[in-house]
A and B are shown apart, each in its own frame.
Chain A
Amino acid sequence: MLRRRLAAGSVVAFAGLVGLASGHHVGSTKRRPLRPGAQRASAAPTRWFDQQDQSYSFSDPSTAAAPPDSASSQSAPPPPPPPPPVAQTSVS
């Protein structure tokens, strides 16, 4: 239980740091019942799993981690440190 609380807390803390670094803020919300907005059911069959579900991408970590060459490292300022990671809040 304590571990779960710490994990959730670290998520908020990490996300807050990201917000400070890049102009983003973090909000956290717990479940609160409200009345649903209306969605109209379609009579036609719906496909729920399609090409969109494969539409994800990672950046290339080797590119991101490449050191600058010696010429540019003398003239250019050092790159800003990467933002802290955002943690998954839990496990399903």
Chain B
Amino acid sequence: MGSEAVVVVPAGDLTRAGALVRALFGCWEATLSRFLPASELSRLNAADGEETTVGSLLLDVLSAALEAARLTRGLYDPTLLRHLVAAGYDRPFDELVDVPPAPRPPGRGGAWRRIVVDRERSTVTLPRGAGVDLGGIAKGMAVDAAVEGLTTLGVEGGIVAAGGDLRVFGGAPAVSWPILVADVPGEPVVPLVRGALATSGVTRRRWLQGGRERHHVLDPRTGDPVAGGLVQVTVAAGTCRAAEVWATAALVAGPILGRMLLERHGLSGLAVDGTGRAVPIGAWPRAEAAA
């Protein structure tokens, strides 16, 4: 998943917690990375329209991604892989250099509507020519799974974070964790008691293609990089899975529709526009949001 994971737990739990999180992230990456040729996801993407038997992990994450696409009416779209590769993001981000221009694939997003998942037979059939990228939602779900694992292990409480997704768990109900939100002018700190934060943005993962600057968040309505007025959205939700999906959907939707989407689903967030202005949404702490 190309991210460093951070775990904060009581001292006595550090060794076993670290081992659990390390094993879990390793497993998820080996299965779900689009950059590893031997991963299950790469095998599915190479099947070119043929029905493929997949394991339960890929089946679960893909099913969640498809439900997310439905809930967001396609603003979150896991089937923009071909567009992303054509934009030059065809290898892990750290290895990206100035890539040559490539022809843009025809059409926009929406191929997720034609994916067939047979949970009974554990098979998936992608539309011919379509590819799946589960990067964001897989990372969020991995953090959620790590929290579940640590709780089952009896870890009293703490934080698991990876690549913009962060979740607090356990601890006394009234105790909050001060969380410094990434890349927002004024460095706002929010007192998170329970739940998760995820931030989706276009300012960090940028590269050059033929001398032109690119970023990794695409608008499924056009197939082009998002240019809707927001540069970053942070969302608070009960799980990283939800926070991650809605952060991306709100970023794609833009300032007005993005705010409406979050409020309608009972979520809170902080949206940052191109001028650096940070706008709190829902129950996001006002006092902490000032830029």
A14 vs chain B, min Cβ distance (A): 7
B212 vs chain A, min Cβ distance (A): 20
A44 vs chain B, min Cβ distance (A): 8
14 further interface pairs, Cβ-Cβ under 8 Å (given A34-B22, A88-B166):
A27-B7, A27-B17, A27-B21, A29-B25, A32-B26, A37-B27, A55-B238, A86-B166, A90-B204, A91-B201, A91-B204, A92-B165, A92-B200, A92-B247
A46 to B61, CA, bound (A): 11
Docked-complex contact A36 and B239, CB < 8 angstroms: no
User: Could you give, for residues 48-74 of chain A, a 1 whenever the CB lies within 8 Å of some chain B CB and a 0 otherwise?
Assistant: 110111111111011011000000000
Docked-complex contact A59 and B119, CB < 8 angstroms: no
Chain B contact residues: helix, strand, loop or mixed: mixed
For residue A28, CB closer than 8 A to chain B, the reply is yes
> Pick the contact of A36 from B1, B8, B31, B192 — CB < 8 Å?
B31
For residue B95, CB closer than 8 A to chain A, the reply is no
For residue B45, CB closer than 8 A to chain A, the reply is no
11 pairs, CB–CB < 8 Å, chain A vs chain B: A15-B159, A27-B9, A41-B56, A48-B67, A48-B241, A56-B238, A57-B194, A58-B283, A61-B288, A86-B177, A88-B197
Chain A contact residues: helix, strand, loop or mixed: loop
A85 to B192, CA, bound (A): 11
* Segment with Cβ contacts to A, from B80-88, B98-106, B126-134, B183-191: B183-191
Docked-complex contact A89 and B4, CB < 8 angstroms: yes
Q: Which residues of A contact B (CB under 8 A)?
A: 4, 7-8, 11-12, 14-15, 18-19, 23-49, 51-59, 61-62, 64-65, 82-92
Interface centre among B68, B159, B194, B238 (most CB of A within 10 A): B238
In the A-B complex, the 6 residue pairs with the closest CB atoms: A56-B195, A53-B242, A55-B238, A92-B164, A27-B18, A59-B176
A52 and B238 contact, Cβ closer than 8 Å, known pairs A89-B166, A91-B204? yes
For residue B6, CB closer than 8 A to chain A, the reply is yes
For residue B199, CB closer than 8 A to chain A, the reply is yes
Docked-complex contact B10 and A23, CB < 8 angstroms: yes
Docked-complex contact A36 and B180, CB < 8 angstroms: no
Q: In B117-170, which residues have CB < 8 Å from any A CB? A: 119-120, 122, 136, 139-140, 158-159, 161-166
Docked-complex contact B237 and A56, CB < 8 angstroms: yes
> Pick the contact of B26 from A34, A39, A82 — CB < 8 Å?
A34
